[in-house]
């Protein structure tokens, strides 16, 4: 699976699929369907709609956003995978439906054969936050508590086999501690219980609501999973800085297309999205919610996906992580 995924993603990103047909020079000449794998109103949806507006202006054609949420993004990506490979359906999602779900035997599509990466759009940092139920001043203090009382520290995530769950397993291995996993089905109840102090820590993507709770002092940042410290919270160290590089994870998001879309169309989409991401107003919009714009080539994005998939497969096997 690992070798096949690396080869297929690099081939799709660099050269396209052999059976792809040359597109009409008039592409695009009708509206583009932009599938967002998450509910309306969330940070991912807001970003996708802003990106869709830029593409519509640049391509001089309507870009119609369609939310298809569920199964941690797999339903939306599956809709893209099953669409006609004509360049008129693309999707926006985190990479986890391609790098996590397939290793748990619950993916409705084949990440190798059914979809191709177009471009990386952003990474969303993962915050490790202390709740009112925790007395830990910092991450070192949390680790000391976990060592003194094995299993007493409870770490909430958005669900089993989620990125937060993977991060937790990597942190436990690095710190050599026993921490109890508290899985939730989604973020709403998780945040409510966090504010009520029903567990000690949680891992969650940054967003306006989370930032409000942090600024109000209801949730305290112990660390962040990100390549560098966040502009909004410069005093919060990364997990890498604190000695846990394997747990220093982020949610990577990007645009995908059905396998078989002609390579010239994929190249055009990549170029137009990179152009949109370079515009100051879109970059500012992403950075305002601590999402960091990325961009780059399809081949680079494919390498990132393949590497994350291989790493997740190893962690899932070692930790015995099971899907519900």
* Tokens 């915050």, residue located: 127
Task: Grade residue 159 by pLDDT with cuts at 50, 70 and 90.
Answer: confident
For 2-124+251-319, CATH gives: 3.40.190.150
pLDDT band, residue 11 (cuts 50/70/90):
very low
In this predicted model, what pLDDT tens digit does every residue of 91-119 receive, in sequence order?
999 999 999 989 987 789 999 899 999 99
187-218 residue pLDDT tens: 678 899 999 999 999 999 887 788 889 989 99
Q: Roughly how many angstroms between the first and final C-alpha of the chain, as a whole number?
A: 22
- Structure-model confidence comparison of residues 80 and 185, the more confident one: 80
Residue with more model confidence, 105 or 306: 306
* Domain limits, the chain: 2-124+251-319, 126-247
The pLDDT of residue 202: 95
Q: According to the model, what pLDDT value does residue 94 have?
A: 94
Q: What is the pLDDT of residue 15?
A: 40
**126-247 CATH, one of 3.30.380.10, 3.30.70.20, 3.40.190.10, 3.90.1150.10:** 3.40.190.10
How would residue 10 be classed by pLDDT, with cut points 50, 70 and 90?
Answer: very low
* Residue 252: HSE in the Cβ half-sphere, 13 Å Cα cutoff: 26
Using alpha carbons, list the distances in angstroms from residue 321 to 104, 159, 184, 270, 318.
8, 11, 15, 35, 8
Which residue matches tokens 């936050």? 129
Q: Which of 37-41, 56-60, 169-173, 222-226 has the lowest mean pLDDT?
A: 37-41
Say what the pLDDT of residue 181 is.
95
Say what the pLDDT of residue 21 is: 43
Task: Return the pLDDT at 111.
Answer: 94
Mean per-residue pLDDT, 222-238: 91
H/E element, 174: helix 163-175
| pLDDT computed for residue 187 by the predictor | 64
Inter-axis angle of helices 43-59 and 263-277, to 10 degrees?
110
Mention every residue, 6+ apart, whose C-beta is less than 8 A from residue 148: none
**From CA 57, how far away is CA 275, in angstroms rounded?**
12
pLDDT (0 to 100) of residue 288: 82
Q: Do domains 2-124+251-319 and 126-247 have the same CATH topology?
A: yes
Confidence of residue 24 (pLDDT cuts 50, 70, 90): low
For helices 298-319 and 2-14, angle between their N-to-C axes, nearest 10 degrees? 170
């Amino acid at each position: 699976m690992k070798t096949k995924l690396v080869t297929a993603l690099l081939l799709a990103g660099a050269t396209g699929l052999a059976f792809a047909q040359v597109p009409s020079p008039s592409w695009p000449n009708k509206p583009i369907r932009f599938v967002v794998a998450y509910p309306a109103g969330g940070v991912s949806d807001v970003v996708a709609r802003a990106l869709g507006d830029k593409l519509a202006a640049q391509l001089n054609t309507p870009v119609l956003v369609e939310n298809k949420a569920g199964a941690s993004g797999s339903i939306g990506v599956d809709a893209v995978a099953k669409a006609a490979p004509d360049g008129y359906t693309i999707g926006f999602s985190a990479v986890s439906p391609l790098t996590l779900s397939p290793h748990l035997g619950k993916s409705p599509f084949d990440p190798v054969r059914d979809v191709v990466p177009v471009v990386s759009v952003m990474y969303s940092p993962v915050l490790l936050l202390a709740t009112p139920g925790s007395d830990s001043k910092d991450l070192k203090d949390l680790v000391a508590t976990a060592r003194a009382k094995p299993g007493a520290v409870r770490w909430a995530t958005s669900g089993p086999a989620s990125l937060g769950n993977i991060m937790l397993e990597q942190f436990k291995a690095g710190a050599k501690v026993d921490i109890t996993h508290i899985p939730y089905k989604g973020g709403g109840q998780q945040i409510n219980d966090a504010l009520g102090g029903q567990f000690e820590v949680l891992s969650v993507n940054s967003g306006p609501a989370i930032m409000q709770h942090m600024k109000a002092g209801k949730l305290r940042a112990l660390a962040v999973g990100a390549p560098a410290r966040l502009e909004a919270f410069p005093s919060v160290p990364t997990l890498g800085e604190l000695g846990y590089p394997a747990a220093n994870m982020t949610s990577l998001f990007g645009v995908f297309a059905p396998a078989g879309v002609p390579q010239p169309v994929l190249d055009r989409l990549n170029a137009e999205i990179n152009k949109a991401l370079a515009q100051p107003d879109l970059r500012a919009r992403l950075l305002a919610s601590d999402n960091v714009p990325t961009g780059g080539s399809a081949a680079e994005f494919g390498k990132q996906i393949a590497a994350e998939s291989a790493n997740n497969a190893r962690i899932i096997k070692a930790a015995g992580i099971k899907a519900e």
